[in-house]
Amino acid sequence: MDDAPQMLSCVWEAADEGRRVDKVLAEKLGLSRTRLQALWAAGAVEAGEGRLEEGRSPEVGQLVTVKVPAPVPADVVAEDLPLEILFEDDDIVAVNKAPGMVVHPGAGHRGGTLVGALLHHCAGRLSGIGGVVRPGIVHRLDRETSGVLVAAKQDAAHQALARQFKDRTMEKLYLAFVCGTPRTPVGTWDGPIRRHPQHRQKMAVVSGGRASRTDYRVRRSWSRASLLELALHTGRTHQIRVHAAHAGHPVVGDAVYGRPRPWPPEAGVSRQLLHAWKLVLRHPRTQKPLALEAPMPQDFLHFQHWLA
């Protein structure tokens, strides 16, 4: 990737009138609102022939352009860490994220991140749209969640993937062991989710929350737990964990939403048993369907054997 900035453009339409400008532009251009706001504050947003002042709305029909600088690889150190590559070409790379690995640097996690490992593996060739701390990252998985994660090497690929996530055209399937067994073998959890009113570090099913939908199917059940296949139709924070706990079947090993009583040591439960099993998308350049699948992890197999 060269040092030239990436120019992202879209047209301000009549349907956009009355909406928050930063939200509309972030959605159309595949940027996070935080990233868009930072670029706007830096004077990188133009409408028509001149700079668009913060808080101002473009005119209908105007071309809005955002100048995204090339990433400065100083905030994240490339690290030679083991990666299980599921798919890779010049546009994207998909990995089977190991449980316990943080996706990007943050408070208390400067090293040992997936971003650092990807920077080393890709020799720095990751999309700059996510900023210097999250280059190439289009979506995330919780630290303890394992499974499929796709990153963009090119800015165009980043935009295309972000659009698919926004439009919910991807198929996102998970596997999870949950406590007990749902009453019906196939069902839907659709409680609205928002920040917990008392515990701000948690999410909760709360009236007035954001619309959320998780479909589930019981693959196999035992006396103490069951293995579910889950389809994620929305992407709320902690969605599967929140929905499962609200239904009375928290994810096994979930220290935040689960049951305080620990599983016996021989069960081998050292994390929340949630796995991003399958991601079906359209390749950002060829537009051909691409199914990415991560095999069931060893701790899942161990727990399943223990249950039997």
Supply the residues annotated as catalytic.
142
Beta bridge partners of 9: 65
Exposed / middle / buried, residue 130 (Cβ in 10 Å: 0-12, 13-18, 19+): buried
The strand pair at 146-152 and 274-282 is best described as parallel
Nearest to 182 by CA among 220, 145, 235: 220
Residue 265 neighbours by CB distance under 10 Å = 8
Report whether 278 contacts 292 (CB < 8 A). yes
Residue 125 neighbours by CB distance under 10 Å = 15
Report whether 99 contacts 113 (CB < 8 A). no
The backbone torsions φ and ψ at residue 50, rounded to the nearest 5 degrees and listed phi first, read: -145, 175
- The CA–CA distances, whole Å, from 127 to 47, 158, 228, 254 equal 24, 7, 34, 33
Nearest to 9 by CA among 53, 67, 69: 67
Nearest to 161 by CA among 184, 140, 186, 185: 140
Report the first-to-last Cα separation within the chain, whole angstroms: 51
Calculate ∠ Cα 287-290-138, nearest 5°: 80
